[in-house]
Amino acid sequence: MVLDDSALSKFGFIPRGPKDAINIDPLQTGGILTEEARKSLVEWGDGYSVCDFCGGVLDLIKKPPIEEFIHNALPEFLNTDVVRVTHGARESKFIVMHSMAQEGDYIILDELAHYSSYVAAQRARLNVKKVPHSGAPEYKTDVEAYATAIEEVITETGKAPALAQITYPDGNYGNLADVQRISKICHDYDVPLMVNGAYSVGRMPIDAKKMGADFIVGSGHKSMASSGPIGVLGAKEDYADIVFRKSPTHKVKEVELLGCTARGATIMTMMASFPDVVRRTRNWDNEVADARWFSSKLEDMGIIQMGDKPHNHDLMFFEAPVFYEISQTAKKGRYFLYRELKAKNIHGIKSGLTKYFKLSTFQVGRENLQYVADSFEEIIAKYQKAE
């Protein structure tokens, strides 16, 4: 079959849409490119751009300074021994699971883990034992239940789990579990701990060694102002030879990374944004203050923040009975809120959500957050007046 011009006309440059909206989407706020990264996206966008400089190992490219970035800057930033870039947080998790466990082994996941953690385990043909949470309204991971879960695996299989993971913070409620306590419990059983920091690495200060993390996972396109997909994976030296083992036939290639990972625009935008990313983690206390301030504004309107209180992260989950009630009679029903926010140039709450939604205040700023809070209040007043 030969594609004719009419079929091809659907493709080519496709504009994304308005770019000046106030963005409160938790998937996007930490991944917005810096100006330096936007320049790098164009400069290094060609498919072969970085490969031109490669002598066979991506992380040993000296110019551009990828070797310096991966082997010095990122380990210092995360305070871990060894780092590689990957194609995303989920790929990082799979790499660890696949290398640290054998088919049929158990690993421990918090019940609030992202679906990709479960899929990664399934792809590696592993079994999962879950650590429960407290349920509404706090949804706190039961830290002490890590010991229970490990004991259950030992009882059922005769050996400890190959790995445990904590999601820090979880991607629904933005809760930050006591990772140091979890690490202590896991290490008492000689179980290595992986911290999934997809929503923390690049937003807030992270110290893998202080946490007691054997592995630390980050997402460039969620939280490090990078053009994705790209992630980072940090590991303790104890496990580096396992996770980053070399091919017996292609001596310089690391098997779990399939020899090469994120290159071109992805790695170059991550490097371009890195100075700003490091600096913004120093402003984390102000980001938390903005999140708490915004949460209190919404709670004054009867919109209830779920999860940790006081909250310690920009990602938050809300129950909004007032919007749900309006949706029962409003024109366009449950789509009314999305349309009202769009008219006010606010992006980030998914179309069709009124009763429950999550958002992020990261990098939005107090002035814009005031505008968003005022907009919520105006929407409520508009529909209550019409009743």
Q: Indicate the length of the chain as a whole number.
A: 387
CB 360 within 8 A of CB 29: yes
d(CA 8, CA 41): 25
pLDDT at 300 exceeding the cut of 70: yes
| Model confidence pLDDT, tens digit, residues 230-285 | 999 999 999 999 999 999 999 999 999 999 999 999 999 999 999 999 999 999 99
pLDDT at 97 exceeding the cut of 80: yes
- pLDDT score for 13: 87
DSSP 109: E
Please give the distance of CA 186 from its chain centroid, rounded to a whole number. Answer: 23
CB count within 10 Å of CB 284 equals: 17
- Rounded CA Rg of the chain: 22
> Which amino acid is located at 2 in the chain?
V
What's the pTM?
0.95
Q: Helix 145-157 and helix 179-188: axis angle, to 10°?
A: 30
pLDDT at 20 exceeding the cut of 90: no
| Model confidence pLDDT, tens digit, residues 334-371 | 999 999 999 999 999 999 999 999 999 999 999 999 99
pLDDT at 18 exceeding the cut of 70: yes
- pLDDT score for 221: 96
d(CA 131, CA 177): 12
Q: Please name the residue that has the structure tokens 């409620």.
A: 173
d(CA 371, CA 374): 5
Q: Please name the residue that has the structure tokens 């001596």.
A: 251
d(CA 131, CA 134): 10
d(CA 265, CA 259): 18
Confidence of residue 1 (pLDDT cuts 50, 70, 90): low
CB 256 within 8 A of CB 102: no
Kindly state the tokens that stand for 168. Answer: 């820090």
List, in order of start, the domains of the chain with CATH numbers: 34-280 (3.40.640.10), 283-386 (3.90.1150.10)
> Which amino acid is located at 312 in the chain?
N
pLDDT at 384 exceeding the cut of 90: no
Share of the chain above pLDDT 70, in %: 99
pLDDT at 387 exceeding the cut of 70: no
Residue 157, burial from CB neighbour count under 10 angstroms (0-12, 13-18, 19+): middle
Q: What integer is the mean pLDDT of 14-30? A: 88
DSSP helix/strand/coil, 163 = strand
Question: Cβ neighbours of residue 303 under 8 Å, at least 6 residues apart?
Answer: 318, 319, 320, 322, 323, 376
The chain-wide mean pLDDT, for the chain, equals: 96
